[in-house]
Amino acid sequence: MGLDEARRRGEAETAPAAGVWGRLTFATRDDLVAPLDPARDVLVVDLAGFESEAFGPVCASTFVAGAVRLGWKNLVGYGCAGGPRYLGVNLADAEGASARGVTLELYGREVGDFLGAILEGADVRLYGQGQCHVGMKAAAGSIFVLQDALNTCCYAAHGGTFNVWDSGSRFAVAGQNKVYEDDGETLAQGFRSIHFGTPNEYAFEYLMSGGENSLHVVLGLEKPDARGELRLKAKPYFGKFFMSGAAAGRVFVLDPEERLDPAQYHGNVLEEITPEEWREVLAPFVAAEAARRGAPIRVEGDDLVVRLDGEWRRWRFDECFIQLVPQKVSRRLAKRGVTPPQLAQLVEE
């Protein structure tokens, strides 16, 4: 059914509960019209045939951005096979405002580089493999990658949530943090990430995402086996220079067997996880992101419960997680009023 026909039927009949679904291909791209009900209508796009880098609607990212400007808030793309690039970039409404409330779901073997780069509020979900520069300079919204992503993901990101299994080298390099919105009073979303597996070496290098609304989690789990069972990796992180040169921020690592070598995170220190941090920050974040992935991970009071090798394992939060912070800006020192000038400046900016 074409979009015009779907629109005529929608005007003639009572709109179904699920809204109208319309499908477009590269050949029918010029049939794009505005949705009848932006909150419920769904636009499905066969991305095969679209180009990664071109002017006009022959470019996949330009076509998707144009659909969002017309009012589409629920978009599904399929046929991704090594491309196209830049999907989820420049998503804004007709007035140029951030595309908050927009959901972009993508299916295929893998998409191209720069997925969700400069993200400003949309919810991007990739049910496949991500490539390089996913979430680069993201400001708000969320990115979910079912499998892995490659190098330099979330480079200089300062907002939004990133959910992935494994990632390549230099994840969140120069990751920053927008503490407040432009009004100077409303707390910003902050920059948050969770790896159900592990990032590669140089992860969180030059991290600057401080603030109570920002955190990063590494669980160090193997991917599900043929029976869907999880197990801990030999180490939660295999690379070197973890948080190398970090100026601010905090990373929580699941390490119940204490396999992470202090030499891997040289220049950073272990910080106590308080019950308040667990209950108000870490536990809700882990529980919510595990639910998004359908992972057998639960939070029960002060305990983390994970199904490993067919058995449920239980740990108290401070028996399984460690918190790493830069040595020069230890949050404990900051609570005592010892705050280096460079940290104060970063928070103000």
**Residue 349's pLDDT is what?**
40
* Cα dihedral 256→262→263→266 (10° resolution): 130
pLDDT in tens, 280-320: 999 999 999 999 999 999 999 999 999 999 999 999 999 99
**Residue 109's pLDDT is what?**
84
- Residues 177/191, Cβ–Cβ less than 8 Å: yes
Whether pLDDT at 340 is above 80: no
Tell me the average pLDDT of the chain.
89
CA dist 24 and 113 (Å) reads: 23
| Residue for token pair 């040169």 | 245
- Residues 272/323, Cβ–Cβ less than 8 Å: yes
Model confidence, pTM: 0.88
Q: Is the dihedral of CA 307, 310, 312, 313 positive or negative?
A: negative
Strand partners, 315: 304
pLDDT in tens, 199-233: 999 999 998 877 677 899 999 999 999 999 999 99
What's the burial of 56, exposed, middle or buried (CB within 10 Å: 0-12/13-18/19+)? exposed
Higher pLDDT, 184 or 70: 70
CA dist 40 and 310 (Å) reads: 40
Domain ranges of the chain: 151-348
